[in-house]
Amino acid sequence: MRDATDPTPAPRADRKPSGVHSRLLTTTLATFLVAFGLVLDQLTKAWAIDRLVDQSIPLVPTVSLRLVYNPGMAFGMGAEIGPALTVVLLLVVAGLIAWLSIGVARRKPWRAVLPVAIVIGGAAGNLVDRVFRATDTPLTGHVVDFIAVDWFAIFNVGDIFAVCGAILWAVLSVTRDPRPVPTRPAE
């Protein structure tokens, strides 16, 4: 029981977690999202390589599962530049990882940090393909794509993570944080 003369404020249930706790939670969630995106992408690609050789599995009209090895980026663009593409993508992902690390260290809100972790998880899955599926020269591996939308593109789970993370980041960047902004009393 608190003494009525105690000047320290009573703990409030609606307070944000302490800085260390909040940073630990954000770091844990970000690490989980990166790892989950990477692992789920690689597991689904392993399944596709095992099950979709020389066959297509229709899901709904105009959508099927069909194995394709993509040497480029989205829609096959950049296939002709080979290892340079992989180096550029490695630098982009390294930059995103640095941004994520700095954001966590500076206690950026989850709205700014976690969508980037989702993008990194997806991008890392595709980088694993480029680095470890190379057969001729280093950094020339083709990305495994297997979700075919006939009127759009063929993509994979890593692509879904990267695109959804980018969309989430954009939406959260332009919407307000629902928590009230603390104001300082006038002096």
- Alpha helices (runs of H) in the chain, residue ranges in sequence order: 19-51, 83-105, 110-132, 157-174
Write out the two tokens for 138.
């280093």
> Residue 81: its pLDDT value, please?
80
User: Could you count the other beta carbons within 10 Å of the beta carbon of residue 151?
Assistant: 6
**Has 145 been annotated as catalytic?**
yes
Catalytic residue among 54, 145, 150, 177: 145
Residue 187 located in a structural domain: no
User: Could you count the other beta carbons within 10 Å of the beta carbon of residue 124?
Assistant: 22
> Residue 184: its pLDDT value, please?
66
**What's the CA dihedral at 28, 46, 165, 89 to 10 degrees?**
100
Q: Residue 39, class by beta-carbon neighbours within 10 Å (0-12 exposed, 13-18 middle, 19+ buried)? A: middle
Task: Give pLDDT tens digits for 83-106.
Answer: 888 899 999 999 999 999 999 888
Of 11-15, 19-23, 36-40, give the lowest mean pLDDT range: 11-15
Residue 11 located in a structural domain: no
Residue 97 located in a structural domain: yes
Q: Which residue has the tokens 């260390």?
A: 20
Residue 182 located in a structural domain: no
What is the pTM for the complete model shown? 0.80
Residue 40 located in a structural domain: yes
> Residue 140: its pLDDT value, please?
87
**How many distinct structural domains can be found in the chain?**
1
Of 15-24, 129-138, 172-181, give the lowest mean pLDDT range: 15-24
Q: Which residue has the tokens 């470890």?
A: 132
> Residue 178: its pLDDT value, please?
63
Task: Give pLDDT tens digits for 59-88.
Answer: 999 999 999 999 877 767 777 787 888 899
Q: Residue 11 above 60 pLDDT?
A: no
Residue 6 located in a structural domain: no
Residue 2 located in a structural domain: no
> Residue 12: its pLDDT value, please?
55
Contact 160, 121 (CB under 8 A): no
Range of the domain at 149: 19-174
**What's the CA dihedral at 156, 160, 43, 55 to 10 degrees?**
-30
Residue 180 located in a structural domain: no
Catalytic residue among 14, 50, 159, 177: 159
> Residue 80: its pLDDT value, please?
73
